[in-house]
Amino acid sequence: MIGRRHLPTLFLVLSLVGIGVLSANSGALNPYFLDVAVGAGINIILAVSLNLVNGHTGQFSLGHAGFMAVGAYAGAAVTLFAGPAVLVGTEAALPHALLFLGALTVAGLVAAFAGLAVGLPSLRLHGDYLALVTLGFGEIIRVLLQNCEPLGGALGLFGLPAYTTLGWTFGAAAITIYTVHMLVNSTRGLGFHAVRDDELAARASGLDLTRIKLSAFLVGAFFAGVAGALFAHFKLSIDPKGFDFTRSVEIVVMVILGGMGRTWGVVTAAVVLTVLPEYLREFSDYRMVSYALILVLLMLLRPHGIFGEKRPTPPPPTRP
Amino acid sequence: MSEQLLRLDRVTVRFGGLTAVNELDLAVAPGELVGIIGPNGAGKTTVFNVITGVCRPGEGSVSLDGEGISGMPVHEIAARGVARTFQNIRLFRGMTVFDNVRVACHAGLPRGLHHSLLRTRAWAAAEEQARLRADSLLEVLGLAARRAAPAASLSYGEQRRLEIARALALKPRLLLLDEPAAGMNPSEKADLIGLIRRIHAEFGLGILLVEHSMSVVMGLCTRIAVLDYGRKIAEGSPAQVRADPAVIEAYLGESAPHS
């Protein structure tokens, strides 16, 4: 018996099947289109997972590219170093798929562990301070990778197997959207919003701040890691420069543009910000400038994001 | 004296050189309605912050039903049945009225990721319970009609009541009200007195009330403690406190108390 509460689960299963069918028949599609579509899917995963931290929980993190890097290198390490031993030269599809599934899982878990490492000391920080710590974390990861010879140093890792397909990417995106949706839409999930709105009132209402913030950080970092591994096996080579500060800013812009805390708005923004630069390639030098402009205009005209609902925030009624 | 609900034993709080609360003894019996009054800066809100764990007492101890709670994290003290409202209203402003109350109805919800990810039967049952409880509390506080409104859009009096509803959602044994009548006109104050009486009777709570409005404190409390410079200078029934020369001198001044 399937009750109403299982509708999202049903939706997830149906979309996974749909994505699978689509992916199996994607050979006929234009390779350029496929390229853009996979990029959009990866950005959806990044934006929706960051939205849990920045939008729902109100913890302004600027280190999402750092978690993505951790995942990318962890996933690449699995397929490059463990792959040959596991596969022993087989051409069958199933072992390759299982290896990739394992690589994605490892990537997510290692990134989540990094999320724990950053989250724990950052819990006492707010606003700008937290943004600075997460920004610093992202840079530390990049510099560490640049100087880590076993992981290719500044040259990075290359010759990765081309595992990432439309199916894997959008399957992972569907699971990300599902997880964030299910986490947030429940009585317990309201705790994320409570922490965002008023930390003291949340604690006085019996909510464990540490637990809530850490779970947002962990889940967010996990999916950033998965996105990183997908990215690695899509580009087939990775280097530390691909995960710098500008990448983090890109993801933050998607979240703000889509409206903090609005899943579908953020998904739309991720797609738009993937596709739009393709059409504006000749102006690519101005990309960061235009991001800054977009943000300034957005804050002036629509502070709740283009797709964000207007939340009423009149000043509190202050009678003495 | 072991059947006290709340017991403060020689509690002292210092902020640098300032002694905000000085060797305070205070007790609330189960179901008792106790008031704390005192001039501005007497340390009343600090007493609340010590009880709820927001700040730790430098000396002395706080116990709830005989169990020491000083030094516990704020959310654990709340989970043990101590709920509060704030002097300057602190609602979850981005959330609806209903969700403001529902978020505090988390006791009894199953823990673990799989419950919320798979919407298990246990999850659904607990979720339904939380919704019903939130709705019944909104009913009690006369906010049912504003259920779907954003909390920030409520009027001042409604926001005060919503804070009380959220506090009651914790199923508290002890409710701390920090100046609930602040900024209210006489008719609103009369309504508030009626409301607090009703909650007190209906939920059988111990209530500790900090208030400046004499009409509210004198009308509600069976016992009143008077603080001045962090020290308790008097304690007793409203009539006793009103007649106490130390109180008149330190707090009420020359003239008799008025509403």
Contact A267, A48 (CB under 8 A): yes
Q: How confident is the model at residue B259 (pLDDT cuts 50, 70, 90)?
A: very low
* Least confident among A194-198, A238-242, A304-308, B140-144: A304-308
Contacts of A189 in chain B (CB under 8 A): 116
Termini Cα distance of chain B? 34
Q: What is the pLDDT of residue A320?
A: 47
Q: How many domains does chain A have?
A: 1
Contact B193, B187 (CB under 8 A): no
Minimum distance, in Å, between the CA of residue A10 and any CA atom of chain B: 11
Contacts of B174 in chain A (CB under 8 A): none
The mean per-residue pLDDT over the stretch A83-93 comes to 81
Of chain B residues 177-196, which have a CB less than 8 A from chain A?
A: 182-184
The rounded distance, in Å, linking the Cα atoms of A239 and A232 is 9
Q: What is the pLDDT of residue A309?
A: 60
Contact B166, B100 (CB under 8 A): yes
- The verdict on A284 touching B (C-beta cutoff 8 Å) is no
So what's the ipTM on this one?
0.90
Q: Are strands B33-37 and B223-228 parallel, antiparallel or unpaired?
A: parallel
- The verdict on A201 touching B (C-beta cutoff 8 Å) is yes
Test B170 with A187 for CB contact under 8 angstroms.
no
* Least confident among A15-19, A175-179, B102-106: A15-19
Q: What is the pLDDT of residue B73?
A: 94
Minimum distance, in Å, between the CA of residue A62 and any CA atom of chain B: 23
Contact B134, A212 (CB under 8 A): no
Termini Cα distance of chain A? 56
The rounded distance, in Å, linking the Cα atoms of A27 and B9 is 76
- The verdict on A190 touching B (C-beta cutoff 8 Å) is yes
Decide if pLDDT at B250 tops 60. Answer: yes
Minimum distance, in Å, between the CA of residue B141 and any CA atom of chain A: 18
Q: Which among A268, A192, A178 is positioned nearest to A223, based on CA atoms?
A: A178
Test B95 with A194 for CB contact under 8 angstroms.
yes
Q: Are strands B59-64 and B67-68 parallel, antiparallel or unpaired?
A: antiparallel
A129: tokens are: 């301070």
Contact A318, A311 (CB under 8 A): no
Question: Does residue A271 form part of some domain?
Answer: no
Which is higher by pLDDT, B185 or A89?
B185
The rounded distance, in Å, linking the Cα atoms of B176 and B181 is 13
3-state secondary structure A250-304: HHHHHHHHHCCCCHHHHHHHHHHHHHHHHHCHHHHHHHHHHHHHHHHHHHHHCCC
Q: How far is CA B74 from CA A206, B42, B78, B170, in A?
A: 7, 23, 6, 13
Q: Which among A121, A154, A157 is positioned nearest to A137, based on CA atoms?
A: A121
Question: Does residue A7 form part of some domain?
Answer: no
Decide if pLDDT at A146 tops 50. Answer: yes
* Percent of chain A topping pLDDT 70: 95
Among B84, B103, B127, the residue with its CB nearest the CB of A194 is B103
Contacts of B130 in chain A (CB under 8 A): 187
Range of the domain at A219: 42-242
SS3 A98: helix
Decide if pLDDT at B252 tops 80. Answer: no
The mean per-residue pLDDT over the stretch A177-184 comes to 93
Contacts of A56 in chain B (CB under 8 A): none
Q: Which among A4, A7, A17, A310 is positioned nearest to A174, based on CA atoms?
A: A17
Contacts of A198 in chain B (CB under 8 A): 90-93
Test B103 with A197 for CB contact under 8 angstroms.
no
Question: Does residue A277 form part of some domain?
Answer: no
SS3 A156: coil
Decide if pLDDT at A26 tops 80. Answer: no
Average pLDDT, chain B: 90
Question: Does residue A66 form part of some domain?
Answer: yes
Q: Are strands B223-228 and B231-236 parallel, antiparallel or unpaired?
A: antiparallel
| pLDDT tens digits along A93-106 | 888 999 999 999 99
The pair phi, psi for residue A259, each rounded to 5°, is: 100, 110
Among B95, B118, B127, the residue with its CB nearest the CB of A197 is B95
| pLDDT tens digits along B139-161 | 999 999 999 999 999 998 899 99
| pLDDT tens digits along B111-126 | 888 888 888 888 888 9
Contacts of B158 in chain A (CB under 8 A): none
Question: Does residue A138 form part of some domain?
Answer: yes
Decide if pLDDT at B82 tops 90. Answer: yes
Among B93, B99, B124, the residue with its CB nearest the CB of A5 is B124
Give me the DSSP letters along B211-232: -S-HHHHHHH-SEEEEEETTEE
| pLDDT tens digits along B215-236 | 899 989 999 999 988 899 999 9
Which is higher by pLDDT, B166 or A91?
B166
State the DSSP H helix or E strand holding residue A143, giving kind and residue range, or none if neither.
helix A127-146
Cα B67 to its chain centre, rounded Å, is: 19
SS3 A310: coil
Decide if pLDDT at A312 tops 60. Answer: no
The mean per-residue pLDDT over the stretch B164-172 comes to 95
Q: What is the pLDDT of residue A314?
A: 45
- Between CA B241 and CA B244, with CA B243 as vertex, the angle to 5 degrees is 65
Average pLDDT, chain A: 88
Q: Is the four-CA dihedral A80, A85, A86, A89 of positive or negative sign? A: positive
The mean per-residue pLDDT over the stretch A85-112 comes to 90
Minimum distance, in Å, between the CA of residue A106 and any CA atom of chain B: 19
Residue with token string 């259920």: B147
Test B91 with A312 for CB contact under 8 angstroms.
no
Partners of residue B6 on adjacent β-strands: B28, B64
- The verdict on A35 touching B (C-beta cutoff 8 Å) is no
B44: tokens are: 């009343």
A172: tokens are: 């992972």
The mean per-residue pLDDT over the stretch A17-40 comes to 86
Question: Does residue A100 form part of some domain?
Answer: yes
* Chain A with chain B: Cβ pairs closer than 8 A: 122
Of chain B residues 79-138, which have a CB less than 8 A from chain A?
A: 79, 83-84, 86, 89-95, 99, 102-107, 109, 116-119, 123-124, 126-127, 130-131
Contact B215, B259 (CB under 8 A): yes
Q: What is the pLDDT of residue A38?
A: 94
Decide if pLDDT at A54 tops 50. Answer: yes
Question: Does residue A254 form part of some domain?
Answer: no
Contact B26, B225 (CB under 8 A): yes
Q: Which among B18, B5, B43 is positioned nearest to B208, based on CA atoms?
A: B5
Minimum distance, in Å, between the CA of residue A142 and any CA atom of chain B: 31
- The verdict on B70 touching A (C-beta cutoff 8 Å) is no
The mean per-residue pLDDT over the stretch A151-166 comes to 90
Half-sphere exposure of residue B208: CA atoms within 13 angstroms, side-chain side: 27
3-state secondary structure B43-112: CHHHHHHHHHCCCCCCEEEEEECCEECCCCCHHHHHHCCEEECCCCCCCCCCCEHHHHHHCCCCCCCCCC
Contacts of B166 in chain A (CB under 8 A): 201, 205
A289: tokens are: 């400038």
- The verdict on B150 touching A (C-beta cutoff 8 Å) is yes
The pair phi, psi for residue A6, each rounded to 5°, is: -90, 0
Question: Does residue A251 form part of some domain?
Answer: no
- The verdict on A278 touching B (C-beta cutoff 8 Å) is no
Contacts of B84 in chain A (CB under 8 A): 204
A49: tokens are: 């997972």
Q: What is the pLDDT of residue A124?
A: 78
The rounded distance, in Å, linking the Cα atoms of A201 and A211 is 16
Test B74 with A187 for CB contact under 8 angstroms.
no
